[in-house]
Amino acid sequence: MYILGINGGVRSGNQDASACLLRDGKLIAAAEEERFLRIKFANGVLPKNAIRFCLEFADISIHDVSYVVYPAITYSNIENILETYFRFHFGYCPKIKLVDHHMAHAASVFYTSGFDESMIITADLTGEGKSTTLCYGADDKISVLKEFRVPDSLGFFYSMVTQYLGFQRDSDEYKVMGLSAYGTSNAVKNYDFSWLLSLKYNNGGTGGDYSLNSDCLSLNENSRTPPRQEPLYSEKFLAKLNKPRRLADVPIDGYYKDIAKSAQVHLEKVALFLLKYLYDKTSSTNLCLAGGVALNVLMNQKLLESGFVNNIHLTSVPGDNGLSLGAAILVAKEYGFKIDKYEHPFWGPEYTNEQIEYVLARAKVPFKRMKDISKEVAHLVAQGKIIGWFQGRMELGARALGSRSILSDPRDKTMKDRLNKHIKFREDFRPFAPSVLEERAPEYFMNCRYAPFMAITYNVRPDKVKEIPTPTHVDNTARIQTVAKGQNGLYYDLISNFEMETGVPVITNTSLNVMNQPICLSPVDALSTFY
């Protein structure tokens, strides 16, 4: 049985359009529409190109698909809209099933975790009026223990601060996270955000509820008026702060850095509050995280180090780009199919050497075939070269994880500035990430465990900070990717060869794109980006 999960389109605010295809419950292909359109997030469109890729990869037609599954049950007339869409673009529409937005988030992470039971937190801006769910997965079922509805949203809170700091909501929240490391030790004391996002404790001081101060939320947001980049906050929000909103071209001074730090710490405080509630209810020490808020890797580190969690799981697509996966999984479970653990992100298109050489020849770019590409590239990186690395199936998700990457030497103190100013063209406060051989990771990163998707930060060991300065952030954390031989053999061999030459089993890995551009899909994209 083929089940096609999709997300995106229908409403102007819908973003992260994607498609995934399951065959008898096994994931065989998935991709994000932004990679084909070359427009980040692919707002307001349905994923026709990603759907075509999935069908072509499986060598099937739309007539072979038993169900199309979409993660929304409250949108009016949605089935008719989807049927019209499929008939127009594909000439046929399979049966349509609708599933709950947050349940799709939960399914995407719990059923792919390999855990027999687990706490589950889903948190985002909003999905069908809900913003956060606290769930427990056991006996192959997911039970909702508590849910929060708009306007009580962790996503709203963080996006309001994102806009205030001069960045774009639904896009630049990760910049606030990176900037937070530059705040001072007095940031939380001076700019506490309890007035905006408050906690309500039950009798005895245990976890209860949280609430967002709705007076600080734009009335337009309450009525869901597009466009999405109008102010999310109200004038009452601005009145609570010491300075006007920073404009994009204004330098970031210490005040705004402190605001970023205080907001980050407050988000972590609320997340720990919710985790404690779940732990008290379930006694589980496994945790699954999904939803856009789960992209906050610093928060994820705090949850892992809370003392309540022994094992943590996220996929490479915790945001809305993973809803297509979760939606398809929910229907697959209805039919009793077993869902495999999500162990790698390589579900997208790939290109043969002949296809790549054709593009290079057409562009009149000189090239040669290497006898041992992993060894030769490792040597170039060790010499200080910055390498565009394009091989294998494209990653699913926001992180380049060894198929569409820019690679460099983590030992070079000047590399961060070189990458930011001359390659990526982005802000200088943003950190880079390390890829590390899985078996060597504990030697470089404290309390490190299986982390294949750059979904959690870990503290760099004090004696290793000077050894790998490029991917070590100013707060001595790193958003790591552990690399196993069975996940990406060629990339593993590259890092192994780099270690043999330098003694360091780590390489700096950033995505093969420039600022405001999606990660590269094709050889043409890679050439236009890096050459």
Please tell me whether residues 386 and 328 are part of one structural domain. Answer: no
Tokens linked to 450: 């299986």
Boundary-marking domain end, from 299, 334, 369: 334
Q: φ and ψ at 301, to 5 degrees?
A: -65, -45
Q: Is 331 helix (H, G, I), strand (E, B) or coil?
A: helix
Residues 87 and 120 in one domain: no
Q: How far apart are CA 495 and CA 507, in angstroms?
A: 7
- 518 plus 470 within the same structural domain: yes
Distance of CA 143 to the CA centre of its chain: 24
In this structure, are 419 and 514 located in the same domain? yes
Whether residues 20 and 165 share a domain: the answer is no
For residue 318, is it within any domain?
A: no
HSE at residue 149, side-chain half, CA atoms within 13 A, is: 3
Do 308 and 329 lie in one domain? The reply is no
Residue 203: per-residue pLDDT:
67
Domain count, the chain: 3
Concatenated DSSP letters of 387-421: EEEE-SSPBSSSS--SSEEEEE-TT-TTHHHHIII
Widest distance between CA atoms in the chain: 72
- Residue 341: inside a domain, yes or no? no
Residue 391, domain member (yes or no): yes
307 with 396, same domain? Answer: no
Can you tell me the distance from the alpha carbon of 41 to that of 13, in angstroms, rounded to the nearest whole number? Answer: 11
Q: What does each C-alpha distance from 446 to 306, 461, 510 come to in angstroms?
A: 14, 6, 22
Q: What is the pLDDT of residue 135?
A: 99
Question: Is 348 within a domain?
Answer: no
Q: Give pLDDT, residue 13.
A: 64
pTM comes to 0.96
Residues 225 and 95 in one domain: no
Residues 176 and 258 in one domain: yes
**Strand arrangement of the beta sheet that strand 404-408 belongs to:** 387-390, 404-408, 506-511, 433-437, 481-483
110-121 burial string, b = 16+ CB within 10 Å, else e?
A: bbbbebebbbbb
Residue 346 covered by a domain: no
Residue for token digits 């499929």?
86
Say yes or no: 44 and 142 in one domain: no
The CA distance from 480 to 495, in Å, is 14
Q: What is the structure's pLDDT at 228?
A: 59
Tokens found for residue 38? 């070359």
Would you say 386 and 407 are in contact if contact means Cβ atoms under 8 Å apart?
yes
Q: How far apart are CA 222 and CA 219, in angstroms?
A: 5
Indicate if 95 and 125 belong to the same structural domain.
Answer: no
pLDDT of residue 470: 98
Write the CATH number for 189. Answer: 3.30.420.40
User: Can you give the residue range of the structural domain that contains 298?
Assistant: 115-313
Q: How far is CA 156 from CA 47, 80, 233, 433, in A?
A: 26, 31, 9, 27
Burial of 70 (0-12, 13-18, 19+ CB in 10 A): buried
Report the pLDDT value the prediction gives residue 332, as an integer from 0 to 100. 99
Q: Say if residue 158 is in the same domain as residue 297.
A: yes
Report, as ranges of residue numbers, the positions in the chain whose pLDDT lies below 70: 11-13, 203-207, 221-229
Q: Is residue 342 a part of any domain in this protein?
A: no
